[in-house]
Amino acid sequence: DWTSEQFIDATVAELKEQLGNDKVVLGLSGGVDSSVAAMLIHQAIGKNLYCIFVDNGLLRKDEFETVLDSYKHMGLNVKGVDAKDKFYTALAGLTDPEQKRKAIGRVFIEVFDDEAHQIEDVKWLAQGTIYPDVIESVSVKGPSATIKSHHNVGGLPDFMKLKVVEPLKTLFKDEVRLVGKALQIDDIIIGRHPFPGPGLAIRILGDITPEKVHVLQQVDHIFISNLKKSGLYDEVWQAGAILTPVQSVGVMGDERTYENVVALRAVTSVDGMTADWSRLPYEFLADVSNEIINKVKGVNRVVYDISSKPPATIEWE
């Protein structure tokens, strides 16, 4: 039978053999897959693994700093790259979801390519591809799809010409988590909900501005930290908030307000292909709603998304 220990021993041995003294570059996303791939390769080749973690300005509140710290704490050779302004500039004025995805994919490739060029004589590109990514590579929304659509336009960026190493290619998500646990990766990374590559950009309906990102980060943070505090985080497959461009009338003291509506989304799922909305307790929703409206400037109404997938999707864009 499969055990994570055996998998780790065998994979690390293979990676040592395959990679020898070569240098490898890997993009960390803060998610489970890229982190586990990085730790496996790190065990095999140590500092010859060069990790790059890009701040695209579309991550959750404080996520870049927190996750970068835990990567360093895990001993990884990681460089944090602040590319927020490049992403915001490329996104300015874009409202179409696919155009936003493309812009983000394109800037990510530019930033990553620049960074990869700075690693002298790098031979390999490592990726955290897992088995479902391999079989569902037809899926339209994944980051690889973004990369492919870019190729057709401008030709291959240099890092994509590197040899590819994908140590998790045979694993399912739960196996990746077990391997991650055995590798003693921080719980904040292992237990984390999936988060889309384009980040908060596809949870802000309409165009993206740093101000809107800031509003959504605060809302999301209140929702997620309350899920954690109430012990509900692990019962939910994925959760997040959506900033809608809809404004509605409210009242605050004697004043009439006219501010944005945010939606909360939490789903149960096995693989993201189908999903049902989480039956979060009313009391919990009441507390979260109050806290959001009291604390976040610019939001005066909170709604809860009760759509299942299909026919809705998990993300709104």
For ligand XMP, the closer of residues 141 and 169 by Cβ is 141
Q: How far is the CB of 251 from ligand XMP (least distance, A)?
A: 34
Q: How far apart are CA 98 and CA 4, in angstroms?
A: 38
Close Cβ partners of 31 (under 8 Å, ≥ 6 residues apart):
128, 189, 192, 194, 195
Burial of 15 (C-beta count, 10 Å sphere; 0-12/13-18/19+) = buried
Q: How far is the CB of 193 from ligand XMP (least distance, A)?
A: 8
Binding residue per annotation — 269?
no
For ligand XMP, the closer of residues 27 and 143 by Cβ is 143
Binding residue per annotation — 289?
no
For ligand XMP, the closer of residues 33 and 259 by Cβ is 33
Closest by CA position to 312, among listed 260, 279, 267: 267
Binding residue per annotation — 30?
yes
* Contact footprint for ligand XMP (CB under 6 A): 101, 141-143, 194, 196-198, 238, 272, 309, 313-315
For ligand XMP, the closer of residues 14 and 207 by Cβ is 207
Binding residue per annotation — 22?
no
Binding residue per annotation — 153?
no
Closest by CA position to 101, among listed 143, 62, 61: 143
Q: How far is the CB of 180 from ligand XMP (least distance, A)?
A: 18
For ligand XMP, the closer of residues 66 and 149 by Cβ is 149
Q: 277 — phi, psi (to 5°)?
A: -70, 140
Tell me 48's DSSP state: G
76 — alpha (psi -120 to 50), left (phi > 0) or beta? beta
Q: How far is the CB of 270 from ligand XMP (least distance, A)?
A: 12
Q: How far is the CB of 132 from ligand XMP (least distance, A)?
A: 11
Binding residue per annotation — 33?
yes
For ligand XMP, the closer of residues 110 and 305 by Cβ is 305
Would you say the C-alpha torsion 99, 61, 277, 169 has a positive or negative sign? Answer: positive
Q: How far is the CB of 64 from ligand XMP (least distance, A)?
A: 17
State yes or no: cis peptide before 310, omega within 30 of 0.
yes
Q: How far apart are CA 236 and CA 266, in angstroms?
A: 7
For ligand XMP, the closer of residues 56 and 300 by Cβ is 56
Q: How far is the CB of 203 from ligand XMP (least distance, A)?
A: 9
Instruction: Write the CA distances from 277 to 60, 147, 272, integer angstroms.
Output: 21, 30, 12
Helix (H) or strand (E) holding 72: helix 63-73
Binding residue per annotation — 251?
no
Q: How far apart are CA 117 and CA 113, in angstroms?
A: 6
Residues placed in the known binding site for ATP: 29-35
Residues placed in the known binding site: 29-35
